[in-house]
Homo-oligomer: A and B are copies of this chain.
Amino acid sequence: MGELYRLKVAGLERDLHICPLNDKMSIAGFIMFSDVELTIACATELLKKVPDFDVMLTAESKGIPLAYEMSRQCGKNYYLARKGKKLYMTNPTRVEVKSITTENIQTLYLDEDDIEAIRGRRLLLVDDVISTGESMRALEALAEKAGANIVGRAAVLAEGDAAERQDIVYLSPLPLFFK
């Protein structure tokens, strides 16, 4: 058991593992999977803060429970950008994204049906954590290709410098840990 960071968010407290990212920096791992109580609380609090919207777009996989729960609470659909092209997709739209939590450049795909569903709608982009902003930029690129009207960018946590951003809505900041 390594170092922990005590996070306070949406009226709850959780101890996050601090994981080395490289020689100079560590990050606190925020994982909503398995934690329904946290997912419900974060969805409720985020929905109080976001602007009016028609539909949501999130990215595989960590955004799924949050977007699902927000959709369940507010009755507005969520759509999922996938990291691989799937057999069921017809004519998917594709953008590239570089992540700080995995080593590779990732690619996001959105199915033609989902592109149609967000076209011309007021779209809220949703993710668990905004850090470098790369994932959010990839969602934006998908949304723009689809002709959606981006009305907001929402995340549970804003990591590092992202906490200074004026163009996002979030619940708590998450520090980076420098050696």
Contact = CB atoms under 8 A, between A and B. Distances in A.
A114 interface: yes
Interface residues of A, number: 34
Interface of A: 2, 17, 19, 21, 27, 29, 31, 33-34, 36, 39-40, 60-61, 64-65, 68-69, 71-72, 77-80, 82, 84, 86-88, 90, 101-102, 114, 117
18 contacts: A2-B90, A17-B88, A19-B88, A21-B87, A31-B88, A33-B80, A34-B77, A34-B78, A36-B68, A36-B71, A60-B61, A61-B61, A61-B64, A61-B80, A65-B65, A65-B68, A68-B69, A87-B102
Contacts of A79: 33-34
A80 B34 CA distance: 7
B34 A87 contact: no
Given A64-B61, A78-B34, A86 B72 contact: no
Given A61-B61, A84-B102, A86-B102, 7 more contacts: A19-B88, A19-B90, A33-B64, A36-B78, A39-B68, A61-B64, A65-B65
Instruction: Count copies of this chain in the complex.
Output: 2
A28 to B, nearest CB: 9
Contacts of A88: 17, 19, 29, 31, 101
A114 B64 contact: no
Contacts of A68: 36, 39, 64-65, 68-69
B19 A72 contact: no
A101 B88 CA distance: 8
A88 B88 CA distance: 30
